[in-house]
Amino acid sequence: MLVEHVFPGVKKKATMPEFQITSDDEEADIQAKMAKCKQCKAVREEAAQLEAERLEREQLEAEQCEREQVEAEQCEWEQVEAEKLEQEQLEAKRKEQEQLEAKH
């Protein structure tokens, strides 16, 4: 058994029988369980990191879609305004032409 719980930072196996509270087999089992826990933790952390990256990509894609939608609406609005202006100019020319014809 490691004596780290008694002396933090000390990772030596107790050599004196009175300090050894587990057998070598139990110690090996404990070490194997600890290794498995570390491995599981690493897998969980990697999964969490991948999920965070996926969510970030999803957010960026949503923001890009929103920007594109706003741009499309802006272009459509500008097109409508340009058509209105053209119609107003044509109407003004028509009225001007009618006035000229009315004078003659």
Residue 8 has pLDDT above 80, yes or no: no
For residue 1, is pLDDT > 90?
no
Phi, psi of 33 (to 5 degrees): -65, -40
Say what the pLDDT of residue 36 is: 96
Q: Which pLDDT score is estimated for 15?
A: 57
Given this model, what pLDDT does residue 21 score? 66
CA distance 39 to 33: 10
pLDDT above 80: residue 42 = yes
- The residue extents of the domains of the chain are 26-103
Neighbours of 30 (CB within 10 A): 13
Q: Is the pTM of this model over 0.85?
A: no
pLDDT band at 3 (very low <50, low <70, confident <90, very high): very low
